[in-house]
Amino acid sequence: MISSLLASLPSPGSGSLNIGPLELRAYGLMIALGVLIAAWLFGRRMATIGIGGPEDASAILIWAVPAGVLGARLYHVATEWERFSDSPGDILKVWKGGLGIPGGLLLGVVVAVAIARRRGLAIAPMLWAAAPAVPLAQAVGRWGNWFNQELFGRPTDLPWGLEIDAAKALSAGYEPGTLFHPTFLYESLWNLALCVVLVILGRRMMARFPLRLFAVYAIGYGIGRFWIEGLRVDPTKEGGGLRLNQWMAIVLVIGGIAYLVYCRVRPTSDESGPTHDEVPSAT
């Protein structure tokens, strides 16, 4: 029995969770759970360095999270328009999957910065506090893809190969019973590890270079997304031998590195954080 359990990773039989008469879409539930856990970490880190607290974190997230979801959906629709052109009503069916992380990051961060400015919060320390919270939310949210049996990778004979329904395997062009790379799991674990790394690095960078931590997040996420995206078999736009999201990952990595190099060559006063003596041990 143990050997059979280790032979593959099963998928849920349904994309919904039933609690009595209440039916919850697992995809949305995982995203919401990720946001709640990230909000806790974000608020705790803000309070630890004395630039705000849970109330400020909630005020930022109440606008930034919907903006991020909107940006992620718009990115997905824009890059997969042929799937929606004949049925625009499907654009609203977010629970069926289809959120593009690059669009969510862009709009979510822009709105978070705008709200922080309105509340008089220092932007660089705020983004320092948010840096590990973002991949933590992504790590949890990715499990929604497991419930939807979507965005899996190439066939594999590894012990953790992912089982999917016969109909989904056939629609992807593979025989029923084929096992696939669980790319949702790879990205979830990568983002969780990235969160831990950012927390550790953040303790060293807060005193003088808080904004650089978000650049490190962009580099780390971009590297992970590049290789994981290369495993996926779902149809998407391609160019130059790479998938669209691989190109976006390259942009994130180059942008993060360019910012770090620029700060190294030309230090900026925009990265205003507490002095070294003022920085407590932040989570």
What whole-number distance in Å separates Cα of residue 181 and Cα of residue 168? 14
Task: Quickly count helices (H) and strands (E) in the chain.
Answer: 11, 4
* 1 pLDDT tier (thresholds 50, 70, 90): very low
Q: Is the pLDDT of residue 157 over 50?
A: yes
Q: Which of 111, 151, 126 is nearest to 270 (CA)?
A: 126
Q: pLDDT digit string (tens) for 89-129?
A: 777 777 666 778 888 889 999 999 999 999 999 899 999 99
In order of 60, 104, 106, 116, 251, the CA distances from 74 in angstroms are: 21, 9, 11, 24, 19
What whole-number distance in Å separates Cα of residue 195 and Cα of residue 220? 10
Q: pLDDT digit string (tens) for 137-150?
A: 999 999 999 998 98
pLDDT, mean of residues 199-218: 85
What whole-number distance in Å separates Cα of residue 184 and Cα of residue 149? 10
Query: Which residue has better confidence, 160 or 271?
Result: 160
Report the mean per-residue pLDDT for the chain.
85
What whole-number distance in Å separates Cα of residue 251 and Cα of residue 269? 25
Helices 123-130 and 26-48 cross at an angle (nearest 10°) of: 130
Per DSSP, what are the bridge partners of residue 16? 25
Other C-beta atoms lying within 10 Å of the C-beta of residue 45: 25
pLDDT, mean of residues 25-52: 89
Q: pLDDT digit string (tens) for 190-204?
A: 999 999 999 999 988
